[in-house]
Amino acid sequence: MSFWFLLNAALLIWAIWNVTAGLSIHTEYIHILLGFTGFLFFIFNWTRNAVFSTIRNVESRDTKVKLAGMSKKIRPYHRWTGRAALFIILLHGIFIINLYSFDLTNMKILTGFLASVNLLILVLSGWYRLLIDSSLKIRKLHIRLGISMFIFVGLHFIF
């Protein structure tokens, strides 16, 4: 099992914890549910990184073949779940701005804004890679944006 599987699982558990805590104290909670749904789409896509990491590190050929086959089946949906995550997160942001205003001195709003900008660039880089340039440079950019997205989401949960 990849180190990323453990990190993804920890972030998912942390997200569930934050959502249940948020639902218990807020009277309006559509923004929480939208944020969590967008997060689920992101973490679904980001788990592919854990699958690829496991493929690179596992010694059993059967396991590699099984994981590669699973990843190949999910690949056509990868770009659409990324777009869905972006759309849902933008709706989450609209609800947040309506409730709390756009105040970048608030760390929760700042980290959410940075995560949403990062997600936009992540989605655009994925489509750019698919349609225009599938070079190693763009692939590495896409992966690094995924890692930074993971970090921004973690920071968003902290604040």
Give the confidence band of 84 by pLDDT, cuts at 50, 70, 90. very high
Note whether 92 and 111 are within 8 A (CB): no
Q: Which two tokens stand for residue 73?
A: 């089946």
Give the residue numbers spanning the domain of 45: 3-158
Give yes or no for residue 137 having a pLDDT over 90. yes
Q: Residue 102 — left, alpha, or beta (φ > 0 → left; ψ -120 to 50 → alpha)?
A: beta
| pLDDT tier for residue 139 given thresholds of 50, 70 and 90 | very high
Does the pTM exceed 0.95?
A: no
Contacts of 122 (CB under 8 A, 6+ apart): 82, 142, 145, 146, 149
The per-residue pLDDT for range 35-83, each reduced to its tens digit, is: 999 999 999 999 988 888 888 888 889 999 999 999 889 888 998 999 9
Q: How many domains does the chain have?
A: 1
The reported pLDDT for the residue numbered 1 is 64
